[in-house]
């Protein structure tokens, strides 16, 4: 997830944070972090060697045919955060879930310097490796920035038939610095650490988290002129009316500078909309697919 000053907060919290029983009760959906959804069973054990790492992916309802919908998760998390949405959308569509480099079940290299262009290239190359030449990309937060990076690449964008950019951003300044002060933030970091230990028993969460923090503290650096090069006719920009991680004005601005793009706002939810209101989010994805 996009957060300014994440590195310091991550290193502070990662070994110690737990959800406090003294935290005030959160009554609104946008103030809660629901349990991480489950991916539809069975869970694939397949990883592909892509760009010197092993990337985990899973295909759902391939017989549905057509351009698959590729779900690209946010920072520190993994594909299961999209679990409820995948379970809904796969009923009628070919869906692919991907754990980005270093996230979830996918590996990374100790000398990797994460960039959104790297993640986009990984995604494109994985799809090519499994025979997918055209796909719809659905990105959330860091996954949304990954999608924007793909749209900005002349080769990759030709393979993206449509793009849904939820909680995306074009610069570090788009992050809400107060996110680290919310009740959700330490709960999210603690959860990610536990999930990482389960999925990567030999992994180093502090090292991995430091790479994500450096990424989010320095990138992206896209200008309005950069984004204006994107073919907006195939892009849907989406945001949440209570996003605590990305500044609320960002979706409208992205919609403005990506000429011809569509703007769709989620209501009553925050940065974690796919978990807080999967019915609303799934409906928006179905509209995006049909549009």
Q: Which residue is listed with tokens 């003294």?
A: 22
Please tell me what DSSP assigns to residue 173. G
In a domain, 245, yes or no: yes
Highest mean pLDDT among 1-5, 12-16, 195-199: 195-199
Give the residue numbers spanning the domain of 65. Answer: 6-16+33-290
Is pLDDT at 13 greater than 70 in this prediction? no
Is 26 a member of any domain?
A: no
What is the band of 9 on the pLDDT scale with cuts at 50, 70, 90?
low
Phi, psi of 290 (to 5 degrees): -75, -25
pLDDT score of 25: 56
Alpha helices in 94-161 (DSSP H): 116-129, 142-152, 154-157
| Nearest one of 146, 145, 187, 144 to 36, comparing CA atoms | 187
* Residue 85 counted as domain residue: yes
Q: pLDDT averaged over the chain?
A: 94
Residue 277: the pLDDT is 99
Give the pairing type, strands 262-266 and 235-240: parallel
Helix or strand holding residue 256 (H, E): helix 250-257
| Strands across the sheet containing 262-266 | 47-50, 53-60, 95-98, 69-72, 135-140, 160-166, 235-240, 262-266
Check whether 20 has a pLDDT greater than 60. Answer: no
Report whether pLDDT(3) > 50: no
pLDDT at 27: 85
Q: What is the pLDDT of residue 14?
A: 44
Considering the domain boundaries, does residue 24 fall inside one? Answer: no
Whose CA is closest to 132, among 200, 52, 62?
Answer: 62
Those residues with Cβ within 8 angstroms of residue 134's Cβ, 6 or more apart along the chain or in another chain: 67, 159, 160, 161
Lowest mean pLDDT among 14-28, 118-132, 226-240: 14-28
pLDDT tens readout for residues 166-225: 999 999 999 999 999 999 999 999 999 999 999 999 999 999 999 999 999 999 999 999
In a domain, 137, yes or no: yes
Instruction: Give me the CATH number covering residue 144.
Output: 3.40.50.1820
Q: What angle is formed at CA 195 by the lines to CA 112 and CA 248, rounded to 5 degrees?
A: 75
For residue 41, give Cα distances in angstroms to 76, 100, 186.
22, 20, 29
Per the domain annotation, does 55 fall within a domain?
yes
**Is residue 22 in some structural domain?**
no
Give the model's pLDDT for residue 82. 99
Quick one: pLDDT at residue 126? Answer: 99
As a whole number, mean pLDDT of residues 44-65 equals 98
Q: Is 227 a member of any domain?
A: yes
Query: Domains in the chain: how many in total?
Result: 1
The overall pTM is greater than 0.75: yes
Statement: residue 18 has pLDDT above 60: no
Tens digits of per-residue pLDDT, 225-278?
999 999 999 999 999 999 999 999 999 999 999 999 999 999 999 999 999 999
Q: How far from 219 is each of 30, 40, 173, 211, 223, CA to CA, in Å?
A: 26, 33, 10, 12, 12
For residue 144, the model assigns a pLDDT of: 99
Does position 116 have pLDDT exceeding 70, yes or no? yes
pLDDT of residue 7: 44
Sign of the torsion angle spanned by Cα atoms 253, 81, 270, 174: negative
Q: What is the pLDDT of residue 24?
A: 52
The secondary structure of 45-67 as a DSSP string is: --EEEETTEEEEEEEE-GGG-SS
pLDDT of residue 234: 99
The answer on pLDDT for 57 being more than 90 is: yes
Spatial separation of the C-alpha atoms in residues 94 and 134, rounded to whole Å: 12
Q: Is the dihedral of CA 133, 234, 37, 188 positive or negative?
A: positive
Q: How big is the CA angle at 37 (ends 35 and 39), to the nearest 5 degrees?
A: 160
pLDDT (0 to 100) of residue 19: 42
- Residue 236's Cβ-side half-sphere holds a number of Cα atoms within 13 Å equal to 23
């Amino acid at each position: 997830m996009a957060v300014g000053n994440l590195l310091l907060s991550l290193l502070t919290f990662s070994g110690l944070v737990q959800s406090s029983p003294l935290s005030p009760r959160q009554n609104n959906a946008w103030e809660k972090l629901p349990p991480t959804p489950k991916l539809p069973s069975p869970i694939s054990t397949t990883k592909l060697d892509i760009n010197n790492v092993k990337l985990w992916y899973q295909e759902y309802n391939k017989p549905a045919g057509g351009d698959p919908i590729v779900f690209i998760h946010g920072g520190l998390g993994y594909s299961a955060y999209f679990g409820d949405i995948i379970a809904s959308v796969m009923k009628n569509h070919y869906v692919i879930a991907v754990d980005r480099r270093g996230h979830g079940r996918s590996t990374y290299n100790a000398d990797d310097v994460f960039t959104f262009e790297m993640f986009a290239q990984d995604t494109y190359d994985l799809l090519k490796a499994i025979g997918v030449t055209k796909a719809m990309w659905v990105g959330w937060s860091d996954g949304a920035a990954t999608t924007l990076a793909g749209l900005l690449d002349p080769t990759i964008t030709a393979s993206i038939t449509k793009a849904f950019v939820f909680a995306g951003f074009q610069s570090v300044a788009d992050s809400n610095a107060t996110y680290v002060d919310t009740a959700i933030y330490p709960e999210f970091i603690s959860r990610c650490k536990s999930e990482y230990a389960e999925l990567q028993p030999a992994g180093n969460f502090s090292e991995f988290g430091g790479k994500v923090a450096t990424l989010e503290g320095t990138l992206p650096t896209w200008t309005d002129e950069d984004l204006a090069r994107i073919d907006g006719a195939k892009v849907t920009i989406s945001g949440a009316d209570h996003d605590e991680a990305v500044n609320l004005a960002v979706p409208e601005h992205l919609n403005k500078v990506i000429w011809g793009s569509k703007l769709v706002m989620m209501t009553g939810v925050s940065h974690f909309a796919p978990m807080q209101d999967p019915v609303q989010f799934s409906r928006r994805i179905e509209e995006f697919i049909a549009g």
